[in-house]
Amino acid sequence: MGKKDMSSEITKIDANTLPAFLEDEEVIGIETLSEYVVPPRVKTVQKQAMDELLKYFGAGDVILSPLNALIAEMPRDEKGRPKEGETASFYVVPIFFYPEWATWNPIELKGSEPAIKYRTVDPTDPIVAKSKNPSLRFENVPNDSSGKLQVRHVEHLNYIVVLYGHPLGAEPCILSFSRGEHNAGSKFAALIRMRKASLFGCVFKATVNLRHGQLGDWYGIDLTNPDNRSPWVTKEEYLQFKELHEQFAKYHKEARLRARLEYDSPEPDEAATEGNEF
Amino acid sequence: MKDATKDVKSLIQTYERVRRVYVDTYKLLSTVRDEVRGSQYALEDMVNVIYVLRELSRLFNDIRKETDGVLHIFENVCCAMYVMLYQNSPEKSNPIRASLATGTPRLTVGVTLPKERSDPEKYYELMKYFGIPAEALKNKLIKSHWPGICEYVSQLAEEGKPLPPGINPDKTYPMYSIAIRAFQQLDDLVRMEGGDDAKHDKFLTKVITTRQRIEDQN
C-alpha cells in the first residue's frame, strides 16, 4: 500500500495557532492577493458531510471554511449526541450585504462539470427572475440525452460578517443563505432593517437549529437579537466596522468580491416546493 | 425589469369597468330592495331573485378574495425587495414615489404563539413574562391579543432586545405592509361614459409613465 497522501486531509484549526516566531514578523508577499477578495465562509457541518470533515467535527458544529477553524461547537452528551435544549451559538456583526444569483449544475454532473455553471451580481440578469419564480427555477441541461438533468437558478443572500467577541478574531467572513435557508436569510434582512440603524452597528446572535424537511433534516443558522449582551457595537468598533463596510462596498462595486458558494448537499430542495425563496 | 405600463393600464381599465358595474349594481339592488319591501314579487320570483343574488354575491366575494391575495403577494414582494435594496444604506430608504401613488413600506414581526393546549409550559412562561396570573388564564378571564403581542415583539426587535421567553425564534416571520398615499385619484383617470379609446389609452400611458398631476399635464 502506498503512502497516504496527507495533503488532502482536513485539519482542524484551533484559534490563535500562529507560531510564536511569526507573531512579530511583518506580513509580506500577500499584496496581490487583495486583488480578489474571497472571504472564508461560515459553514454548518451537516450529518451527510464528507467523512474527513466528520472525523474532526460533529453535525451541527459551525466552522470557517476552508480554514476548518471551529466557530461554535454543538453541545453533546457522553454518547456524542446533541444535548436536548442546547445548541451552538456565536455573535456576529453584519458588515455588508449583497445578493448573488447562480445557475447550479445538477449533482449528477459532479466531477465532469463545475458545480456553478454561471453566476452574477447584476440584478437585471435574466436568471434573477428565474431564481425567484418556482416554475422557472429549473431548466433542462442542454444536450442531455436522458432529458432528466436540470440546472437550478438560485438566489444567494450573502452577508459579510465579522465574528464578534470571538477567539478567532474579527476577520470578515461570509454568511450565505440560499434554497432551504433562504427564508432564514430573509428573516435576518428584516431583523437588521427593524433596527433602523446601519447594519455594521448591530450585534446579532447566530444560533444553530435543526430543521425538519420532507427530504430529511439539516442544520441551519438563525439570527436573533442577543439575549445577554448589548445589541450594539461600541463607538470605536462602529468606526472600524464602517471603514470595513466602505471597503467591501468598493470591492463589490469593482466586482472583486467573491463568495465561496458551496454545494451544501444536505440542504433539501424544499425552497422549490414550499416557495421559501420568495 | 419588465415594463409594467401595459399591466397597470389594464388594471386601471378593469377598475373603470368594475366601477361602472358597481354603480349599475347599486342602482339595481336599490330598486329590487324597494320592490321586495312593497311585496311586489310572487314567491317563485323571489326564489329566482334569491338564487341570482346569491350567485352574484359569491362572484363578488370570490373576486375580492382573489384580489386581496394578489395584493398581499405584491406587498410582500415589494417590501422584501425594498428591504434587500437598502440593506446597506437604510438612511437612503425613502418612501417609494411612483406615478400614481407614494408607498411607505412597514415591517413588523409576526409570531406564532405557543398554544395553551399543545404547549402549556411555553404558553404559561410567556404569560408570566407579561405578568398575567395563570389562574386568570385557566379560568378564561383573559386571552392573549395576537396583534398586540406582534406589535410588542416588533418594538423589542427595533430596540435590539431578545424575544420574550416561550416564543421560538424559528416561529417568527417578517410581516410586510405598505401605506399608500394617492398622488393621482384613480377616479380622475377613469371615464364613466366611454369615449375615444385611443385617446384615453394615450392619456393613461402618460399618467402611468410620469409622476405629474393631471392638471399640470393638460
Chain B positions touching A196 (Cβ under 8 A) are: 90, 158
Using the Cβ of A136 and the Cβ atoms of chain B, whether some distance falls under 8 Å is answered with: no
- Grid cell of A243 as nine digits: 471603514
Whole-structure pTM over 0.90, yes or no? no
| Helix axes of B197-209 and B5-37: crossing angle, nearest 10 degrees | 120
Enclosing domain of residue B86: 5-103+177-217
Q: Is residue A6 part of a domain?
A: no
| A191/B163 CB distance under 8 A | no
Can you give the pLDDT at residue A11?
A: 59
Calculate how close chain A gets to B120, using CA atoms only, in Å: 17
Residue A270 has pLDDT above 50, yes or no: no
- A225 in B contact zone (CB under 8 Å): yes
| pLDDT tens digits, B9-50 | 999 999 999 999 999 999 999 999 998 888 878 899 999 999
Assess contact for A110 and A96: CB atoms under 8 A: no
Average pLDDT over residues A11-28: 66
A110: DSSP letter: B
* Residues from chain B contacting residue A130 (CB–CB below 8 Å): none
| pLDDT at residue A14, rounded to an integer | 57
Higher pLDDT, A110 or B158: B158
Name the residue with cell 503512502. Answer: A3
Cell numbers describing residue B167: 416564543
pLDDT at res. A33: 58
Closest of A10, A39, A42, A57 to residue A188, by C-alpha = A42
Chain B residues in contact with A205 by the CB 8 A cut-off are: 162
- Does the pLDDT of residue A140 top 50, yes or no? yes
The secondary structure of residue A133, as a DSSP letter, is -
**B146 and B57 in one domain?**
no
Residues 79-98 of A with CB under 8 A from B: 96-98
The 3-state secondary structure of A199-244 reads HHHECEEEEEEEEEECCEEEEEEEEECCCCCCCECCHHHHHHHHHH
Query: Using CB atoms, which residue from B1, B83, B160 is nearest to A193?
Result: B83
Q: pLDDT exceeding 70 applies to what percent of chain A?
A: 84
Residue range A206-263, pLDDT digits in tens:
999 988 888 788 899 999 999 888 999 999 999 999 999 999 999 999 888 888 886 5
Does A22 map to a domain?
no
Residue A215 contacts B where some CB pair is shorter than 8 Å? no
Residue A29: predicted pLDDT? 65
Q: Please indicate, yes or no, if residue A30 is contained in any of the structural domains.
A: no
Cell of A134: 418556482
Residue A18 lies in a domain: no
**Residue A275: per-residue pLDDT:** 35
Q: Is residue A122 part of a domain?
A: yes
CB-CB under 8 Å, B162 with A226: yes
Q: A23 to chain B nearest CA, in Å?
A: 35
Domain that residue A62 falls in:
36-272
The shortest C-alpha distance from B155 to chain A (Å) reads 9
Of A196, A93, A222, which is closest to residue B167 (Cα–Cα)? A222
Residues in A 108-127 with any Cβ partner in B closer than 8 A: 124
Nearest to A231 by CA among B110, B162, B154, B108: B162
Of all residues in chain B, the percent with pLDDT exceeding 70 is 97
| Residues whose CB falls within 8 Å of the CB of residue A148, separated by 6 or more in sequence, listed in order | none
Residues 6+ apart with CB under 8 A from A18: none
B46: left (phi over 0), alpha (psi -120 to 50) or beta: alpha
Query: Is residue A266's pLDDT more than 80?
Result: no
Instruction: Show residues of chain A in contact with B161, CB under 8 Å.
Output: 225, 231
Does B84 contact A157 at a Cβ distance shorter than 8 Å? yes
Q: CA-to-CA distance for B72 and B186, rounded, in angstroms?
A: 20
Whether residue A187 and residue B162 make contact (CB cut-off 8 A), yes or no, is no
Residue B108 lies in a domain: no
- The three cell numbers of residue A26 are 511583518
Q: What is the count of structural domains for chain A?
A: 1
Alpha helices (runs of H) in chain A, residue ranges in sequence order: 51-56, 126-132, 182-194, 235-253, 270-274
If pLDDT is split at 50, 70 and 90, which confidence band does A161 have?
Answer: very high
Q: Is residue A104 a part of any domain in this protein?
A: yes
Position B64 pLDDT exceeds 70:
yes
pLDDT in tens, B67-86: 999 999 999 989 988 888 88
Among A103-117, A235-249, A263-277, B61-75, which stretch is predicted with the lowest mean pLDDT?
A263-277
- Residue at grid coordinates 398622488: B183
Span of A21-25, A36-40, B159-163 with lowest mean pLDDT: A21-25
Q: Does A226 touch chain B (CB under 8 A)?
A: yes
Element (H, E) at A152: strand A150-163
What does the alpha-carbon distance between residue A179 and residue A149 come to, in Å, rounded to a whole number? 18
For residue A166, being part of any structural domain is answered with yes
Domain count, chain B: 2
Taking CA–CA distances from A157, the nearest residue in chain B reads: B84
Question: Is the Cβ pair B170, A209 closer than 8 Å?
Answer: yes
| Nearest residue to B181 via CA among B106, B96, B108, B64 | B96
Among candidates A98, A158, A108, A152, which has minimal Cα distance to A127? Answer: A152
Indicate yes or no: CB of A192 within 8 angstroms of CB of B156: no
Model confidence at A40, pLDDT cuts 50, 70, 90, reads very high
Q: Is residue B172 part of a domain?
A: no
